[in-house]
Amino acid sequence: MKKTALLNSDLSSVISKMGHTDLLAIGDCGLPIPECTKRIDLALIKNIPRFIDTLKVVLLELQIEEVIIASELENENLSLYEQIKKEIENVKITVISHEELKALLKDCKAVVRTGEQTPYANIILRSGVVF
């Protein structure tokens, strides 16, 4: 049995195959996911799992060097924005429009769909290296 924290086999597989600068997105249940991008659907019911809980687990497994968020997040969902900053610590934050973020989803290895139902609860993680 797998010993590390992440038990979802689809998500674990994607993370294990990521290289430096590859992208992985985590989004709310309303985020439109391009047909060409792998969908890892964790959504069960409203707000289960939560976006922030999913992000915390992914960060246990994935080394990141940058996060990309929508500029609308800080204005429309300040509480979540502050939680994200706490979780990522000193990692670079790049802010783009929500439309630009949605356009970048086609370049992601996968989009993880959560049950989150709050505005702009979406993030793109850029993979870093552990050395």
The catalytic site residues sit at 20
For residue 76 the two structure tokens come to: 């429309």
Has 120 been labeled as part of a binding site?
A: yes
Has 103 been labeled as part of a binding site?
A: no
Has 121 been labeled as part of a binding site?
A: yes
Has 90 been labeled as part of a binding site?
A: no
- Say if residue 49 is preceded by a cis peptide, omega within 30 of 0: yes
Evaluated on CA atoms 26, 72, 102, 91, the torsion sign reads: negative
Residue 39 CA to residue 90 CA, distance in Å, equals: 28
Instruction: Give the residues across from 92 on adjacent strands.
Output: 66
The H or E element that residue 68 is part of is strand 64-70
Has 81 been labeled as part of a binding site?
A: no
Annotated binding site for substrate: 28, 98, 120-122
Annotated binding site: 28, 98, 120-122
